[in-house]
Amino acid sequence: MKSPRRQKHKKNMHVFRSPNYMNKNDNIAPNPPQPNKGLCLHTNANTDEELVRNSTYKFNSSVETLINDSETSRFAIYNRKNEVKKVPRRQNAWIIYRRDKSISSEFAGTPSKFISKEIAKMWDNEKKETIELFEALARISVKKHIERYGEDYRYNPKEAKKSKQVINEDKASKPPILTPSSSKFEEQKNFPTPPISPITSSSSDSAANPEQQQSYLQFSTNIYFSYYTN
């Protein structure tokens, strides 16, 4: 009689990877990513700092400048002018990207509103690698923000809007400076000077008192200029 065939056990064919039944040759899946930690999909970098360090992207500003709060924004200027210490908003990838692009020579002398529109178009057409790079910069910037201001910061749009209104009101409250080109000065300057009629008097008085007639003319001239120049 023929002996029954032994069924060969095939490795790695089990359905469930139970902790109680694991072959030594099984390939174990990697651990899931940690929460709130970015993934470097297109590079072999393990950290945001390593991704930025290995990047060949040409920045217009230094990385150290971009990951720290701006010192030239209206918010920063307002804080210095009024000697207040309001916490600036945390930067995201778009803000850092705009800061870097806005100092390019191609935008020299261009209004800020136009710059934002053009840079927004550039951002929409960027490669995934570039977007991931600036997202990594944003996460590094948030770490810097937490180290400086703590973890309790919460962005308040209403407070930011109120601060912007205060800045605009502060500009509007300044009195205008009168210059030689002002409308009042031009009105006084261009107002035609009418001829001064001589004071009528008898021929005997005019001939007898020429000094008195001259004083009357000077008095009339002073009245005219004091009226239109005050």
What is the phi/psi pair of residue 135, to 5°?
-65, -35
Residue type at 183 in one-letter notation: S
- 39 in a domain, yes or no? no
pLDDT for the residue 43: 55
83 and 189 assigned to the same domain: no
111 and 84 assigned to the same domain: yes
- The CB density around residue 204, as the number of other CB atoms within 10 Å, is 8
168 and 188 assigned to the same domain: no
152 and 115 assigned to the same domain: yes
Quote the number of domains for the chain.
2
Angle at 201 between CA 197 and CA 207, to 5 degrees: 110
Nearest-angstrom CA–CA distance, 212 and 206: 8
125 and 223 assigned to the same domain: no
Nearest-angstrom CA–CA distance, 37 and 139: 9
127 and 212 assigned to the same domain: no
Q: Is the pLDDT of residue 142 over 70?
A: yes
Do residues 50 and 136 lie in contact, with contact meaning Cβ atoms separated by under 8 Å?
no
Structural domain of 104 = 48-172
Residue 226, helix vs strand vs coil? helix
- Global pTM reads 0.51
138 and 93 assigned to the same domain: yes
pLDDT for the residue 156: 79
166 and 192 assigned to the same domain: no
Percent of the chain with pLDDT over 90: 33
Burial 31-70 (b: 16+ CB within 10 A, else e): eeeeeeeeebeeeebeebeebbeebeeebeeebebbbebb
Nearest-angstrom CA–CA distance, 216 and 60: 74
pLDDT for the residue 185: 46
Residue type at 222 in one-letter notation: N
- The CB density around residue 103, as the number of other CB atoms within 10 Å, is 13
Do residues 130 and 93 lie in contact, with contact meaning Cβ atoms separated by under 8 Å?
no
Please state the rounded mean pLDDT for residues 166-188.
Answer: 54
- 16 in a domain, yes or no? no
Please state the rounded mean pLDDT for residues 66-76.
Answer: 85
Lookup: tokens for 132: 């991931």
61 and 145 assigned to the same domain: yes
Q: Is the pLDDT of residue 176 over 60?
A: no
Please state the rounded mean pLDDT for residues 50-61.
Answer: 95
Q: Is the pLDDT of residue 59 over 90?
A: yes
- 14 in a domain, yes or no? no
Q: Give the range among 36-40, 53-57, 78-82, 157-161 with minimum mean pLDDT.
A: 36-40
135 and 220 assigned to the same domain: no
Lookup: tokens for 210: 């020429």
Each residue's pLDDT tens digit, 73-109: 888 788 788 887 888 889 999 999 999 999 999 998 8
